Structure 1
Amino acid sequence: MLDLLIELGNLKRLPRTGWLLRGVPNPESVAEHSYRVALITLFLADELKAKGVEIDVEKALKIALLHDVGESRITDIPKTAQYYLDKGKAEKKAVMELLLSSPEPKEYFKLWREYEEESSLEGKLVKFADRLEMLIQAYEYEKAGFRNLDEFWGTVKKLRESEFYSYFRELVEGLVEMREKLHRG
C-alpha cells in the first residue's frame, strides 16, 4: 500500500492540462482539483440529504476521492488528445492496476466505475460536482485575467441537464451571473 500512496502523490505535481493549453502558466494540480471536488460533493450530498433525498454521503465521498486516481499513471490527457486515444480503456486499466494494492480493490474499482458510467446517484453527484468545480476554477482564472476559457463554459449545459440542477440551480446560475458581471466590467 505504501507504493500506492507514493504513486498517488503524483497527482499533487500533475497540472490540469486543459488550463495549461489555454495559457494558465501555473494551473491547479489534479490533487487540488480532486480535493475541491470532494468538498463540493460533501456539501451537495449533505444538502440533498437535508432536502429528503436518499443519498449515501460516505459512498459519494469515496467516489469523489477516487475519481481521478488513474491520472497518476496516465496523466491528465487533454480533450484534444482524447480524440486520438482510448482514454477510457487506458484509465480503466490504470485504475485496476493501481487499486490492486488498496485495502478493497474490487469495491474501490466499482465506485470508480460508478463515477465514469454515472450509474448510481452518488456517481452522478460526483460528476456534477466535478463539472461545477471546473467552472468555479474557470471563473477564478478569468477573474485573475486569463482569457480564452469560453470552451469550458459549455459545461453549464450539462449541469442544467442534470437531475441535480433543480436542487442547485442557484449555484449554477449564480456562477454564470458572476462571470457575466466580470465580463461586463
Structure 2
Amino acid sequence: MNTSTFLEILKVAEKLKCNTRHSWTSSGRHESVAEHSWRIALMALLMRDEFPKIDMDKVIHMCLIHDLGEAFTGDIPTFEKKEQDSEKEDEIFFQWIATFPTPYREEFTELLKEMNERKTDEAKLYKALDSLEAVIQHNEADISTWIPLEYDLQFTYGADKVEFSPYLKELKEEIDKKSTEKIAQKDEA
C-alpha cells in the first residue's frame, strides 16, 4: 500500500477516537468508539485458550474493523439503532473499503460479509464480545450514567449472542452478578 493511501485510511479511522459512544468510562467521560473496538480485540486475544479451534486472528481483525463505518455515521446506541441505520453504515463502509488497494479491499469486504451473516464461529464470537464489552463497560461506569432502560438491558443485552459457548454463558453470568451488585449498591445508598 502506498504511503498516501495508508495515511488517508488512518485519517478516516482516527474519527473513531473522536466519536463517542453512549457508554461512560470509570473516570467519568464518554467512551470513544476506538476504545470499545480496542477492548473487544483485547478480549479476543485473552480468550485464545478458551477457543482453540477458532481462528482468533480473524476474530481480532473483525473486532478491530467492526465499527469503522461509524467513522462516517457516528455511534447510535443499540436501543435507538434501526435496521436502516445499520444498512446505511454498512453501505458507507463497503463504499469506503472499495477504494482500498488489493488485498485489503477483498479482506475487509469478506470480513464484513462474514460478520453480518454471523454463521461462522469467528463471527459469532466477535458479535458476542461486541455485546459483552458494552455491558462490562456499563458496570465500570458510575451508575448515575445509566438511563432507566439500561437496568433491564444490562441483563438481556448479549444474552442471545453467548448461547453457542459454555464459556461465554459463564462469563455473561459473572457480568450479570456484577450488574446485580452495582444496582443493589445504588439501592442501598
When the two structures are superposed, what TM-score results if normalisation uses the length of structure 2?
0.81
Q: Which amino acid aligns with 2:116?
A: E
| Structure with the largest fraction of strand | 2
Q: Which amino acid aligns with 2:73?
A: I
Taking the TM superposition and a 5 Å limit, the aligned residue runs for 1:109-120 are 109-120=109-120
Does the 8 Å contact 1:4/1:98 carry over to 2? no
What CA distance in whole angstroms lies between the structure 2 residues aligned with 1:175 and 1:82?
24
What CA distance in whole angstroms lies between the structure 2 residues aligned with 1:111 and 1:35?
17
Taking the TM superposition and a 5 Å limit, the aligned residue runs for 1:5-84 are 5-16=10-21, 18-19=22-23, 26-49=29-52, 54-79=53-78, 81-83=80-82
| 1:95 corresponds to which of 93, 107, 110 | 93
What CA distance in whole angstroms lies between the structure 1 residues aligned with 2:119 and 2:48?
16
| Structure with the largest fraction of helix | 1
CA-CA distance at 1:66 after TM superposition: 1.1
**5+ unaligned residues in a row in structure 2: which ranges?**
none
RMSD: 2.3
SS in 2 for 1:19: strand
**5+ unaligned residues in a row in structure 1: which ranges?**
none
Does the 8 Å contact 1:95/1:109 carry over to 2? no
SS in 1 for 2:141: helix
SS in 2 for 1:112: helix
